[in-house]
Structure 1
Amino acid sequence: MALAIMFGLVTLFALWALFREMKKKNLFAVGFAFLTLAVFGWFTVMTVIDLFHSGGWGAGH
């Protein structure tokens, strides 16, 4: 559960950074923020799906 929360926080920070850097028109930082958002967003979604699919919060496989 803690891993999903940490991934979610990183995803939210990356989303905030993406919008901030788009406003500044810093395309290099926009690229890195987008990649971070894509990777950690995917990790967040898949971790939450795994938690629900495995039948428990930290129960193991």
Structure 2
Amino acid sequence: MILGIITLLVTILSLLGGYVELKRKNFFGVGFAAISVAVFGWFSIRTLLAVIFFGGGGTVG
């Protein structure tokens, strides 16, 4: 559960970083922020769903 929350916080910070870099017009930074949001966001949502619906953070299925 704590791993899902930590990765969710990383996702939120990546969103904020992407916004700041977009304002600076640093598109390389925006690209890395977008990749981070995609990877950490997917991992955090899947982890939290596994804990809530299946009672554990292990594999689903």
TM-score by length of 2: 0.85
**Matched residue type, 1:31:** G
- Render the CA deviation track for 1:4-44: whole Å, top value 9, x for unaligned: 11101100110000100000000000000000011000011
List alignment gaps of at least 5 residues for structure 2: none
Give yes or no for the alignment of 1:45 onto 2:40.
no
Q: CA RMSD in A?
A: 1.7
Whole-angstrom distance in 2 between the partners of 1:29 and 1:48: 28
Superposition map of 1:1-61 within 5 A: 1-55=1-55
> CA shift at 1:55, angstroms?
2.6
List alignment gaps of at least 5 residues for structure 1: none
Count of residue correspondences: 59
TM-score by length of 1: 0.85
Whole-angstrom distance in 2 between the partners of 1:9 and 1:28: 22
Runs of 4+ in 1 over 3 A off after TM superposition: none
